[in-house]
Structure 1
C-alpha cells in the first residue's frame, strides 16, 4: 500500500500451480491472519491510494517473499489506484428520551456524534439527516426532515417544539397518543459510507402535571414515608424499653435508699431489713415476677441477679443476699456489727446503681476547680512579718488591755 512511502508489504500470497493465479482477501483469516486492513498513511485517512502487487524473485523483502536461488523470470509489478472510504458509527450524545413523557410546547433537543469505525476519530463537515416522524395509528409517517452538518467534534444537533397529538400544518391528521420519533441517517459521501440509526427512543405525551402536583401520595412518596415511620417506631420502641428498664432500677434504688435511712435511724434492724425485703417482693410482683404464694430466697435472688446484672458485681450481690438470709433464718441476735455491714452493702449498691444511671458523672466539687489562677489580691495589700494581711494606709486596731503609763 502506497509503495512510494511504504516499502514493507502488508501481506503475501502463493500462486496456484499450473495457472500461476493468486487470490487474496483481507477479511479471510487464512489469507490475512492478522486481519490487518488499510491503515492510515500519516494524516491521510480517506482518499485515493496506490495498491501494488509485485513479484520480485531477485529481492529479499523483509516481511515479504524470500529471494529465489535460481530465478528464471524477471521481477514484475502492477499498481492499481483505489478509493479508500471509511465506515462510521453513530452514537447518541445527548439523549432525548423521557420516561415521564413530554408536555405540549416542550422543546425537544438531541445530538449525535459521528465517529470513524475502528479508529474512533470524529467525522467533521459531513451531512446528517434527522427525519421527524409521528404515529398515525397504523404506521410511522414523516413530518419534517432536517439536514445538518457535523462540527469539529463530529456532533450534529437538532431541536423542535413538541406539539403532542397535533400536527403542524395538518388539520385532519393527528399523532395518536402523542407518539413521535427521530431517525438519524448519515449521508453517504465520496469518502464515507452511509449509516442509519433507526432504534431511537420514542417520544410520547406525558401525564397531566396538575394532577401530579395535587397528589402527594405517589408510590415513591409512600415508600419513603413508610421507611421513615418504621425507623421512628423502632427508635421509639427502643427508647421506651430503655426507659422502662431505667425506671425499674430507679425504683430499686429508692427502696434501698429508704432501707438505708431506716437502718441508720432505727434500732430495730431486723424489721428494717424485712421491710426492704417485702418492698422488693411487692415491686417484683407488680412487674409480673414472683407470682407464687410462697417464694423461696433462691427465687428472690434470681430475680435480683437478672435485673441488676452488669450493674452490681456478683460478690456484692452475695453479701446483699446473705443479709436477708441471716435476718430470716439466723437464731443469734442482730447487733450493731450486722447493721454496719448492711449499711455498707446498701451504700455500695446505691452508689453502683447511681453510677450505672449516669447521674453521678457531672458531680463538681472544689477538687475539680482549676488552680491556674490564685486568689485575687487587692491594691495595697501585703503580708507583715507576723503573717497577717495588712492594707497600706490603715492603722491596725489596738487592743485596750487597760495598761497606762
Structure 2
C-alpha cells in the first residue's frame, strides 16, 4: 500500500525549505529590531478558548476547527490561529502584572478544515506578533510598519497596505444598523452564511467571498461616518503616524477581518499575484479580547501572515535562496585513506566547515562527479601516495586549480577560507 499526505496538507521538501528558512530568518531579524520576543504555545488548547476568543459567528468556529475529546472527555482543539493562545499564555504567565508593555511574536502550524487551494492548506504555517498594554494609535501604525518592513526585508514586491476602522462597542451598533438598512431589501438574495450573519454580526457580511453577495454591497455608504468621536480621532491619528513613518496605504471602508475580536483599526497587506484570495497578511487592534479571556481590560494589537503565501509570492518573483551545501567534499581512495578522511571530516566540522565525505568503493571520476552535483566549493583527494607524504590534493571546483595541503593543516586552512567567504 502506498500512503499519501492527507488532503489539505503537504510536505515541504528540501529544495523548498531554504526559502522558508529565509522568510523565517527575516521575520526574526525584523522582530528583533522592534523589540519583540518569541513565544511558543501548544498546538492544541481547550476548545472554549477559541470559542470565546474568536467568536461563535465566525467560519472558523462554525465550520473549520479540528476538535476532539481526550481520554477524560475534555474538548480540545488544534489551534486555528495564534492570537487567542498567545493571550492565554500572556495571562497565565502573569506578564500583564510584570510588564507595562509586552511585545511577543510567534511562528508555527495552525489547522483549519477549509477547501484547499493555492497557498491555502488545512495545516498551514503562520508568523505573527502581538503587542499588549498600549492603546494609542502609534502602536497600530508601528505594527503595520513592522509588517511592511518584514516583507520588504524578505524581498516581496508590489504589495499594498489597506486600513479601516471597525469601531468599538460604542459605535459598533450604528455600523451594524447602516449595513442592515442598506442590505435589508436584498436579504433573501444573499448566501446562507450572510443571511445568518445579517442578524448576529452584519459586519461579517462585508467579509463574504461570494461574488453575488459582493454585488449587493456596491454603493454601500462610507461606514466611517458612523464611527464615534473617539474612533474617528484614533483612526485619523493612525493615518498621521503612517504618513510620519512614510508608509503608503489606502483606506478601504469595506475592509473587515474574519475574526470577531477586532476593534478600531484593522489592516491587510495585499498582493496582485494571488487572485481573489489576495491577502498576504492581516491584523488589527483587539482591545477587549484580553478581558474576554479572563484578564484585565488591556488594549492589544497585532498581525499574522501565512508562510505558504509569502513563499509562493517569492517563488513567483523568481527568488532563489541557496540551501546548505558542502563547502568541502573529502574523496578518499582506499581503506587506509578512508580512516584518515573520517578523522579529517570530524576536524573540519568541529571547525565550523560544512563537510561531506564519500566512502564508496568507486573511482575518482565518479566521486568528482558527485562533488560537482552537490556544488562543493573544494574537494580534498587522499590516496596511497598522499598518505605516505601526509598530505592531500585540495582542488578548487570553480577554478580547477589544485594544491598540496598537509593533513594536519587542512582544517585550519579550509576553515579560514570559509570564514573569508562568509
Quickly name the TM-score band, shorter chain normalised: under 0.3
Relative to the length of structure 2, the TM-score reads 0.16
Q: Which of the two has higher C-alpha Rg?
A: 1
Which has the larger helix fraction? 2
TM (norm. structure 1) is 0.17
